[in-house]
Structure formats: C-alpha cells, structure tokens
A and B are shown apart, each in its own frame.
Chain A
Amino acid sequence: MASTTRVRETWRSLRVAAWLGWQIESNWADPFVFAIYSVIKPIAGALILVFMYAVIARDGLENPLFPAIFVGNAFFIYVPTVLSGISWSVIDDREHYGMLKYMYTAPLNVFAYLAGRGIAKAIIASIALVITLLLGIYALRVPVAFSTIDWPMFAGAALCGAAILTFLGIALGGVTLITARHSYYVGEAVAGALYLLCGVVFPLDVLPSWVRWIGQATPLTYWIEAIRRALIGTGSSAILARLSDGALLAITAGSALALSVFAFVIYRLAERRARHLGLIDMQTMY
C-alpha cells in the first residue's frame, strides 16, 4: 500500500514538474518564436564547426573525422541543457519564484521533481537535435541513414545517457542548494569542462595524457562514442576503438548505476546541510 502511494507520488512529481518546466521555458513567447529560438542556437553552434572544417581542413567537410564530430556535437546539446536546466531550477525556485520551501512542505518526491524539470529541457534539446541532424544529413551529407542505424545500441545508449545526465543534474542541484553566488555557473562550467574532456569535437587521443585520463574516467565520453557507433557505425577515438560495442554500453550502463548512488548521496548531504544552515529559502538578491 505504502509503496503504491510512493510510486504514484513519484509519477505525479515527475509529470507535474515536466509540465511546469515546459510552461516556464516556453510560455514567454508565441509557439513560432519559441520554435525559432529553440533551433537557432544549436544550429549556429553546429555551423561554427562546419565552417572551421570547411575553411581550414585540407579536405573540408570530406574529412573522415567530420561525421563523428558533427554527431558528437549534435548530441552534446543535451548536456548543457539538462545539467544547467536541473541545477538552475533550484535557483529559479529558491530565489526567483521563492517556491523551493513550499516544495518541501508538499507531498512530492524531490528527485522526481528535479528529473521532471530536466525532462522539459530535454524536450527542447530533442527538437534542436532533430533539426541539427537533419541539417547534417541533408545539407552536409553526414552519413546517418534510418536503415543503417544500430537501433538496439542507439536505444541502450540513449537510455543510459538520459540516466547519466539526470543523475549528474540532480547532484549539481544538490551543490546548488548549498551555494549562493557561484550557482549560476555550476551547470555551465561542468558542461563546458565535459565538452573538452569527453572529446566531443575532436578525438580524445589528441588531449595531453593527464587530461585524456580524466576524459576516460568520464561516463559521457563512452555515451557519445556509443551514440556515434550506433548512428554512423564508427567512433572518433583510437583509444576507445579497442572497446567492443557491448563493452561501451556496459561501461555506460555501469556509470549510470554508479551515478545514481552518487547523486542520491550528494543531494541528501547537501539538503541536510542546507536545512541546518537555513539555505532552503535563501535570498541572495544576485
């Protein structure tokens, strides 16, 4: 009986948070303006890469690395969007709307709530991803074909990636709970570091060895490589090429599992500290 109630509460928290997040993100403009807003940024980001290759690379967009880099960059759209989205929702609720304290007085599951806010952001990122991929496939001849995609691997990688980003976002949400002036940068800084460390726009192999080690210890490196293999049949890194598809997926799934524990522990510790220090209804006026 108690477990059924908990499941219902979790589902309701997830659903309501996703709806609330969607409203906050989208209702400032009419749907047409919002649609343009959602796709212009990622397309511009992708085009920066395209021009860098087109102008400088000896073989331009025919460079063998380009498809893997394009796909990696396209899927990376999720990372800053979801990480910043979840951690920002804590600041937004606490300082902007002054609602965070009421969440703690309501019958909701805080993890599901944060994940729900991430879902709203992920929906926006998905629209941008589809448009970016279509641009790549039809305008830049990135070899992604519906018939050649390894669908089981793609589904596995997508699921694990969603879990990794959600748990990482929740952990950052915990950090945001106990920080004031630095909170604005948390999601963006982590996403920026991951952009470099995970070899999103270049093969991991070119990084200095000590940075490469950090990259190899980062779950999203394996997620992006798995997505590349599923979509275009090849990855970008010689180091990761030693791993079979199964091994890549196993590492990604294992990382997601480990991160779930990590996120839970970090959030609960941060939450306890925030309660002790009276930070849950903090107003820094920044």
Chain B
Amino acid sequence: MKQKTNVNAEDGKQEILITRTFDLPVHLLFQAYTEPGLVEQWMGNKVLKLDNKTHGGYQFETTDGQGNVLFRANGSIHKVIENQNITRTFEMENTNFPVQLEFLDFEPIDEEMSLLTMKIVFKSVADRDQMLKLPFAEGINMAHNQLQKVLSKLK
C-alpha cells in the first residue's frame, strides 16, 4: 500500500521534502494551518501568536502539567496565498538548531482530496541531518518522560 506521508531526504542536500495526501478539500487543509484553535488541536501546541498573513508571524509552545515550557517555536510568515501557499521560517527556541525555511504548497487533487508539499531548507546539510534524527530522539524522550511519570507515581 502506498504511504500517505512520504519523506524524501537526498544524501548531501540541505533540504527535506515531505508530501502528504489528505482526504480533505484543499480549503479545509489550508484552514487547519490558519485557525489557531484548529492548529492547537492537531499540533498539540498552544498557539501564542498566529498572524497568518504576508509579513506576519507565529509562536507556539508546549508546557507540561506544571506549566513548565517544554518546547517553544516561532517564525516569520513571509508570504501567504490563500488555499495555495505559505512561506515561513521556523525556529525552535533555546536549541542549537538554526532557523529553517519552509515552503508549504497546498493543491487540490479533486474536490474531496488535496496534496500538501512541504519543502524545508536548512542552513547546512549537518543541520538537516540532525533534524531528521530528532523525532527518533523525541520518541525516546517521550518514552522516557512517560516512564518518569509512572515512576513518580510509585514514589
């Protein structure tokens, strides 16, 4: 079966191409990126700011149960064309990762289906490779946190 989400990261290049088909009309897919309430639901982050327009910006954060910030990211929104593209930067705060550039293209396949193409350009090949490794690492981190939660209940 063909996977709905594909990742293409060629060796030695400083970019990642992510493509995904959705069982959603393109305007709903686009809306999922522009309405703070919806973004919060699917990304699981708190939206501190989302000024979704050309020369706008955004800031997201994730906190733990005690209100400690676990993750905060922000970026400038360079250009928005409704139901077509978002060009923006993305930077994780308090990390060594440099800012990255993201090109999001929204395309209709038919009236009920759409395609998202996300091209992420990194400062260097090494930065890209590090980002590719991150979910692997994050998955471990989450498992680790879960374990700590369970352990703290036992204490």
Task: Please indicate whether A and B come from the same complex rather than being unrelated chains.
Answer: no
Which of A's residues lie within 8 Å of B, judged by CB?
Answer: none
Which of B's residues lie within 8 Å of A, judged by CB?
Answer: none
